[in-house]
Amino acid sequence: MKTRLLLFWLLLATSPAGQGQSGLVSHTHGAANLTKEDGLRPAPQDKTLGSGFVEANCRSLSFGQGIYVAVGPGPCIRTSTDRTDWTERDSGTPFSLYAAAYGQGLFVAVGNEGAVVTSPDGSHWTRREAATEERLRAIVFGRDLFVAVGHAGTIITSRDGARWTQRLSGREERLQGVAYGNGAFVTVGWNGTILFSRDGRTWRQAVSGTTLRLCSIEYRDGQFVARSGDSASLVSKDGTTWTEEAKAYHLKDSLVVK
């Protein structure tokens, strides 16, 4: 009898149900990797979730009007006013979402197959035509303009989040991150690709000095910081001239990313 009970609990613990359906999502370096089936699930209806659910799983977090909006994994969107209690929203798209931004009283989220959804309050979302079917990976708002980037060198822009225009990047590499600061938009991607623009429309290539896959970029403390998957970092004040972080440390302490 004891042997059969032990076998029962072992089978339960190793089943998808016993693991909280972890078979759908695996975590690598804190990022959620979804199965093909997960990316095509219908968007869930609104429901309240437990504390701490979003922080470990979301791909992107934006803030506006006193509301936090988290996107991913899959087409999920969740909102919170305190980052403790979260409510799941209907995103209006079946495709996986990867990034969100807030500007001009509007939340905008982007993702696979050119998915773009917008919301004025974080609760009610509308699907938009994105002028592309490429997979979008990042979005930023600056100078009254939304700029989103993705696979195959894709760059799209919009002033209202509803009407989008595709811009010429001159590159075929995947663009993985985008940031705005010091009057410039900067996007980074595979093979050390770095592009910059003053208006979001015309883009030029910067010399990165690397062929690494640049995965993310942010603007903080007066400089852009671009990173690769192996934690290598590049820094720049204007988005055009870049220095390896290790070299920047010896040149000037103020360039060190803290």
pLDDT reported for residue 231? 74
Is residue 150, in this structure, part of any structural domain at all? no
In the chain, the number of structural domains is 2
| Domain presence at residue 111 | yes
Q: What end-to-end distance do the CA atoms of the chain give, in Å?
A: 59
- Side chain identity, residue 13: A
Burial of 61 (0-12, 13-18, 19+ CB in 10 A): middle
Residue-by-residue pLDDT tens, the chain, 258 positions: 444 444 434 444 443 333 332 222 222 222 332 223 333 333 344 454 444 445 556 789 999 999 999 999 999 999 999 999 999 999 999 999 999 999 999 999 999 999 999 999 999 999 999 999 999 999 999 999 999 999 999 999 999 999 999 999 999 999 999 999 999 999 999 999 999 999 999 999 999 999 999 999 999 999 999 999 777 799 999 999 999 976 543 333 333 332
Is 121 in the same domain as 172?
Answer: no
CA distance 111 to 210: 27
Whole-structure pTM value: 0.76
**In this structure, is the dihedral angle defined by the CA atoms of residues 138, 182, 204 and 256, taken in order, positive or negative?**
negative
Hey, what's the torsion of the CAs at 28, 33, 35, 41, to 10 degrees? 140
Q: Are residues 106 and 190 in the same domain?
A: no
Whether 245 is in a domain gets the answer yes
Give the pair of three-digit tokens for residue 137: 């990976």
Last residue of a domain, one of 105, 128, 151: 128
Please tell me whether residues 174 and 100 are part of one structural domain. no
d(CA 240, CA 40): 39
Give the count of beta carbons closer than 10 Å to the beta carbon of residue 57. Answer: 18
Tokens for 117, please give them: 């959804």
* Domain range for 105: 25-128
Q: In terms of domains, do 104 and 175 share one?
A: no
Domain end (from 128, 153, 186): 128
Choose the final residue of a domain: 70, 97, 128: 128
Give the helix/strand (H/E) hosting 239: none
